[in-house]
Structure 1
Amino acid sequence: MPLHVNKPTPEEYPSMYQPYMDQLPANEEILPLMEKQVKDLRDLLQDLPDERAAEGYAAGKWSVKELLQHLVDSERIFGYRALCFSRGEETPLPGYDENKYVTTSQANSRTLKDILDEYELVRRSNLAMFQSFKEKMLDKTGIASGRRLSLRGLIYLIAAHERHHLNILKDRYLQHHQ
Structure 2
Amino acid sequence: MKKPSAHEYPVDSFFARYINLVDTENVTGLLRQQCAIVESLFKNLTVAQQDYRYATGKWSPKEMLGHMIDTERIFMYRALCIARGEQQSLPGFDENGYADTAQFSNQSQQQLLQHYGFVRQSTLALAESLTEEALDRIGTANGSPVSARAFFTILAGHERHHLTILAERYGLK
TM-score normalised to the size of structure 2? 0.92
Give the conservation status (yes or no) of the 8 Å contact 2:136–2:147.
yes
- State the superposition RMSD in angstroms: 1.6
Residue 19 of structure 1 deviates from its aligned partner by 3.2
Match of 1:48 in 2: 45
Residue 58 of structure 1 deviates from its aligned partner by 1.1
- Runs of 4+ deviating beyond 6 Å: none
Partner Cα separation in structure 1 for residue 16 and residue 168 of structure 2: 20
Match of 1:13 in 2: 9
Residue 21 of structure 1 deviates from its aligned partner by 2.2
Partner residue of 1:38 out of 12, 35, 38: 35
Q: Structure 1 counterpart of 2:16, which letter?
A: Q
Q: Structure 1 counterpart of 2:3, which letter?
A: K
- Determine helix, strand or coil for the equivalent of 1:165: helix
Partner Cα separation in structure 1 for residue 87 and residue 171 of structure 2: 42
More displaced 10-residue stretch of structure 1: 83-92 or 38-47: 38-47
Partner Cα separation in structure 1 for residue 17 and residue 92 of structure 2: 20
Match of 1:137 in 2: 134
Partner Cα separation in structure 1 for residue 132 and residue 82 of structure 2: 13
Give the conservation status (yes or no) of the 8 Å contact 1:50–1:111.
no
Give the conservation status (yes or no) of the 8 Å contact 1:13–1:154.
no
Partner Cα separation in structure 2 for residue 50 and residue 108 of structure 1: 11
Counterpart check, 1:93 vs 2:90: yes
More displaced 10-residue stretch of structure 1: 16-25 or 40-49: 16-25
Counterpart check, 1:70 vs 2:67: yes
Q: Which 5+ residue runs of structure 1 have no aligned equivalent? A: none
Q: May I ask how many residue pairs the two structures share in their alignment?
A: 171
Give the conservation status (yes or no) of the 8 Å contact 1:95–1:144.
yes
Q: Which 5+ residue runs of structure 2 have no aligned equivalent? A: none
Residue 171 of structure 1 deviates from its aligned partner by 0.8
- Determine helix, strand or coil for the equivalent of 2:171: helix
Residue 135 of structure 1 deviates from its aligned partner by 1.3
Residue 157 of structure 1 deviates from its aligned partner by 0.6
Q: How does 1:88-167 map to 2 (within 5 A)?
A: 88-167=85-164
Counterpart check, 1:84 vs 2:62: no
Partner Cα separation in structure 2 for residue 20 and residue 92 of structure 1: 21
